[in-house]
């Protein structure tokens, strides 16, 4: 669900040093507070401006498209129903509680082990707009794919492939005679992956809806890509299952966020603020690649993005380790 607001749901910097202002009786704030109190956690879209002025922000334009007017707050439910006016939103919130605890906002990431049920819930909403929000990372994804040293005709597992943001990069390397196997547990992310495959008419992509810990494949892959898969890398069972589906000497590469050195406080704050939308645990955030390292002959790790991310790559042993 999305709530379009102008002000009131977030503190506004106050001209006096260090102060902030959050207007108490603002209609947007009332709508937001009522939703929160009832247990709903809408995605808040800040649509600055005044209704009487031209619609310059994308939020305002969307509000105009949805309601024919420029007034906020406007609530858009998951089924597309649009509720306008603070009073109506407050009334809706008071009579409608979330259907089940499972629909509530997932718990914030902790330092515990990854939680698959939470991940499924998290991506139920994170799937929408995922490609757009992570587009800026495509250069890093490309670098990780390059580290796999793929050749035409090879089989590669795209571990926790999500919406398939890596498929085109992998296609460039394995060609139509190669095979891409994308595995993910989120139906919403996989639906987008499926659409991408259909739109591109890729006949060599197999999609599997499963937890990485549980999937089964009849073939052994030449390579495996772990792109933005922090949760999976913290699950020994998941890493072991991927490696069990790889031929001896196969290659792995990973790209993901990590903690920067302690003194890089702004980087760490920014990285955590973004990552918390996509991971269920911050366990292992110092060195997310450690599980992978255990299985790989020599894992190279390159720190990127001011230390807030990494690219790691290596080959698994030709002979099983004793």
CB 185 within 8 A of CB 191: no
231 binds ligand SAM (CB under 6 A): yes
CB 291 within 8 A of CB 234: yes
119 binds ligand SAM (CB under 6 A): yes
211 binds ligand SAM (CB under 6 A): yes
Instruction: Name residue 226's beta-bridge partners.
Output: 159, 254
234 binds ligand SAM (CB under 6 A): no
| Helix (H), strand (E) at residue 275 | helix 265-275
Alpha-carbon dihedral sign for residues 166, 170, 176, 177: negative
Q: How far is the CA of 38 from the CAs of 8, 99, 220, 273, in angstroms?
A: 18, 11, 49, 25
CB 171 within 8 A of CB 181: no
227 binds ligand SAM (CB under 6 A): yes
Distance CA(272)–CA(7), nearest Å, equals 25
Interface segment toward ligand SAM; rule CB under 6 A; list 40-48, 91-99, 229-237, 293-301: 229-237
Interface segment toward ligand SAM; rule CB under 6 A; list 52-60, 168-176, 227-235, 265-273: 227-235
116 binds ligand SAM (CB under 6 A): yes
Distance CA(296)–CA(282), nearest Å, equals 23
145 binds ligand SAM (CB under 6 A): no
CB 38 within 8 A of CB 96: yes
User: Which tokens go with 168?
Assistant: 């085109």
Interface segment toward ligand SAM; rule CB under 6 A; list 24-32, 58-66, 228-236, 312-320: 228-236
- Residues of this chain, 61-100, that bind ligand SAM according to CB under 6 A: none
147 binds ligand SAM (CB under 6 A): no
Q: How far is the CA of 45 from the CAs of 61, 133, 153, 183, in angstroms?
A: 12, 14, 45, 31
Decide: helix, strand or coil at residue 284.
coil
Interface segment toward ligand SAM; rule CB under 6 A; list 32-40, 61-69, 85-93, 206-214: 206-214
Give whichever of 30 and 141 is closer to ligand SAM, judged by the CB atom: 141
Interface segment toward ligand SAM; rule CB under 6 A; list 81-89, 184-192, 263-271, 312-320: 184-192
| CB 185, min distance to ligand SAM, A | 4
Out of 89, 212, 242, 316, point to the residue binding ligand SAM (CB under 6 A): 212
246 binds ligand SAM (CB under 6 A): no
115 binds ligand SAM (CB under 6 A): no
165 binds ligand SAM (CB under 6 A): yes
Percent helix / strand / coil, the chain, rounded to 5? 35, 20, 40
DSSP of 207-219, one letter per residue?
A: EEES-TTT---SS
Total site size for ligand SAM, rule CB under 6 A: 25
9 binds ligand SAM (CB under 6 A): no
Q: State which residue has the least CB distance to ligand SAM.
A: 162
User: Which tokens go with 65?
Assistant: 């498209």
257 binds ligand SAM (CB under 6 A): no
Alpha-carbon dihedral sign for residues 63, 69, 74, 77: negative
Out of 63, 238, 271, 311, point to the residue binding ligand SAM (CB under 6 A): 238
Give whichever of 134 and 259 is closer to ligand SAM, judged by the CB atom: 134
Contact residues for ligand SAM (CB under 6 A)? 116, 119, 123, 134, 141, 160-162, 165-166, 184-186, 189, 211-213, 227-229, 231-232, 235, 238, 278
């Amino acid at each position: 669900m999305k709530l379009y607001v102008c002000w009131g749901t977030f503190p506004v910097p106050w001209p006096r040093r260090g102060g902030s202002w959050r207007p108490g009786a603002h209609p947007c704030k009332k709508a937001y507070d009522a939703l929160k109190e009832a247990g709903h956690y809408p995605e808040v879209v800040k649509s600055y401006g005044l209704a009487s002025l031209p619609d310059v922000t994308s939020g305002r334009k969307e509000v105009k498209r949805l309601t024919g007017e420029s007034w906020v707050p406007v609530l858009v439910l998951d089924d597309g129903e649009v509720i306008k006016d603070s009073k109506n939103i407050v009334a809706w919130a008071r009579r409608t509680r979330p259907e089940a605890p499972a629909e509530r906002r997932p718990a914030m990431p902790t330092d515990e082990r990854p939680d698959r049920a939470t991940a499924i819930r998290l991506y139920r909403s994170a799937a929408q707009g995922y490609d757009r929000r992570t587009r800026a990372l495509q250069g890093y994804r490309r670098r990780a794919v390059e580290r796999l040293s793929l050749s035409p005709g090879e089989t590669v597992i795209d571990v926790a492939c999500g919406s398939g943001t890596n498929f085109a990069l992998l296609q460039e390397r394995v060609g139509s005679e190669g095979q891409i196997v994308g595995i993910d547990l989120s139906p919403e992310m996989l639906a987008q992956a499926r659409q991408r495959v259909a739109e591109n008419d890729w006949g060599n992509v197999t999609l599997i809806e499963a937890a990485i810990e549980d999937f089964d494949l009849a073939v052994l892959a030449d390579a495996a890509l772990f792109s933005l898969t922090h949760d999976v890398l913290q699950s020994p069972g998941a890493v072991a299952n991927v490696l069990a589906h790889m031929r001896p000497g196969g290659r792995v590469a990973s790209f993901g966020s990590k903690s920067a050195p302690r003194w890089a406080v702004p980087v760490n704050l920014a990285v955590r603020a973004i990552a918390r939308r996509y991971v269920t645990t911050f366990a292992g955030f110092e060195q997310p690649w450690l599980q992978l390292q255990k299985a790989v002959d020599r894992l190279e790790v390159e720190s990127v993005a001011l230390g807030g991310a990494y690219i790691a790559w290596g080959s698994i042993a030709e002979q099983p380790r004793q």
